Amino acid sequence: MLVPFLPPPRNPAVDDLLGEVPRELFSERLYQACELVERYVSDLAIAIAQRLELEPDLAQGTTAQAILRSRSYPEDESPALDWLLARLAEAGHLERSPEEPGPAYRLRRPLPTPELGELRALGLAIDPAIAPTLAILDTAGEAFPRVLAGALTGEQALFTGASMQLWTQYFHNANPIYALNNRLAAIAAANRLPAGGPVRILEIGAGAGSAAEALLDELRERGRIGEVAEYRLTEPNPMLRRRASRALAARYPGLALVDQAYDIDQDPSAQGLPQAGFDLVFAVNVLHIAQDLGASLAWLRSLLVPGGWLVAGECQRLFPRQTIPIELIFEQLASFTQVKLDRDVRSSHGFLTPEEWRQALAATGFAALAEVPDLARIREHYPRFFSGALCARRPPAERPIPSPGA
């Protein structure tokens, strides 16, 4: 390879900060795989920029908005191009200077040749199970120029036909890059369920069921799955919901499993969910796409019994303006970028920082706020540990909280 893949040694201080998370969950192998994906996405960003022939513009200095205008591309795609340029700057290829309405970028030196084939082979040698992650990134990279040009939407490019099978493989617990999200949330949730049962669990945005599988496996390993009086699985996509329900019913015979549609952007009382009906509300990588985050959190809080827990596994941005590899995909999706912003809680679309999550949860009346593990401390030793489980409790006795939209 022209540019060797040489990740820094894994900092042992991270192990000391994992708290209730088993040390083996973030193994050396997973660390190497995560670092490989970081490098892979940076090289993929170079390849996309070269396909778009951005180097002449960048050599003169430009902004995402100027590039879109010069090519008559739709300005709705500005978030995707903004992200691409920010990623190239973060990798050291561009200089970034603040401007209005968006930052300006200038090429430091000619872009190097991307080494995707070599990196892919190296990644599969580190862990063959990361193949779905690389495949979905490749698909997003291939679609990027067409989405940017407005030839099709990100949803059309990435959520139809063969791409759906790729997503199922990506979100599967056999994919270690994604499974970390599920496992962290499952451990945090199991640690907070009231002992002895019976417990009622509501999962939001279950997808094909990998997060539910992680939680129910964790409870079974602890001998507690018999305490689950109801597991209500919600997912707006009927195909995914049926697939998840069938798989979970087969995996956990006798489980009191209920499935239904649920839209996190609408009042749950109009969707058949009982107020104060659940001991645990569980979600993995769902809440960051809420159109109005404050309203959605307040609605979820209303579904908890007093003293009940919200546990939300969320990919998080550890520093302002930091780019995250999987955003190469999501920045092409309207559901990710077109959300209500708030200067104090949600200053930009996409993944939130730990501080923004704490502010959002506190503002909607949650208490006993915690994160598993503590990303605010871990980031001092490793700036790319993006997965965490947000834990927040509905107080047993509480002051009135204004209803959403009041």
Residues of the chain where predicted confidence (pLDDT) is lower than 50: 406
Query: Does 222 lie in the same domain as 193?
Result: yes
- d(Cα 40, Cα 32) in Å, to the nearest integer? 12
Quick one: DSSP state of residue 7?
P
pLDDT, residue 73, reads 96
pLDDT, residue 219, reads 98
> For residue 403, with 0-12 CB atoms within 10 Å meaning exposed, 13-18 middle and 19 or more buried, which class applies?
exposed
Phi-psi region of 205 (alpha: psi -120 to 50; beta: other; left: phi over 0): left
Query: Does 356 lie in the same domain as 224?
Result: yes
| Secondary structure in 3-state letters for 136-164 | HHHHHHHHHHHHHHCCCCHHHHHCCCHHH
Query: Does 203 lie in the same domain as 95?
Result: no
Query: Does 190 lie in the same domain as 139?
Result: no
CB atoms within 10 A of CB 347: 12
Query: Does 164 lie in the same domain as 27?
Result: yes
> For residue 34, with 0-12 CB atoms within 10 Å meaning exposed, 13-18 middle and 19 or more buried, which class applies?
buried
Query: Does 104 lie in the same domain as 189?
Result: no
Residue 379: partners with Cβ closer than 8 Å, 6 or more residues away: 318, 319, 385
Query: Does 191 lie in the same domain as 152?
Result: no
Q: What is the pTM of this model?
A: 0.94
pLDDT, residue 402, reads 52
Last residue of a domain, one of 148, 170, 192: 170
The answer to whether position 402 is within a domain reads: no
Quick one: DSSP state of residue 288?
G
Last residue of a domain, one of 128, 143, 170: 170
The answer to whether position 366 is within a domain reads: yes
Query: Tell me: the pLDDT tens digits for 272-285?
Result: 999 999 999 999 99
Three-state DSSP at 62 gives strand
**CA 280 from centroid of its chain's CA atoms:** 20
The answer to whether position 401 is within a domain reads: no
The answer to whether position 8 is within a domain reads: no
The answer to whether position 235 is within a domain reads: yes
- Tokens 């509480």: give the residue: 398
Query: Does 298 lie in the same domain as 230?
Result: yes
pLDDT, residue 41, reads 99
CB atoms within 10 A of CB 277: 17
Question: Residue 235's domain is classified under what CATH number?
Answer: 3.40.50.150
Q: Which two tokens stand for residue 266?
A: 């609408």
Terminal Cα-to-Cα distance of the chain (whole angstroms): 59
Beta strands at 199-204 and 278-284: parallel, antiparallel or unpaired = parallel
Q: Which two tokens stand for residue 24?
A: 């083996």
Query: Does 225 lie in the same domain as 115?
Result: no
Query: Does 244 lie in the same domain as 198?
Result: yes
Q: Which two tokens stand for residue 111?
A: 């872009």
Query: Does 186 lie in the same domain as 104?
Result: no
pLDDT, residue 284, reads 98
Query: Does 249 lie in the same domain as 139?
Result: no
The answer to whether position 2 is within a domain reads: no
Number of structural domains found in the chain: 2
The answer to whether position 60 is within a domain reads: yes
Give me the helix-helix angle, 176-192 and 28-51, nearest 10°. Answer: 130
The answer to whether position 229 is within a domain reads: yes
- d(Cα 318, Cα 323) in Å, to the nearest integer? 9
Domain that holds residue 215: 177-393
Last residue of a domain, one of 104, 136, 170: 170
Assess contact for 197 and 228: CB atoms under 8 A.
yes
The amino acid that residue 303 corresponds to is L
Three-state DSSP at 103 gives coil
- d(Cα 215, Cα 217) in Å, to the nearest integer? 5
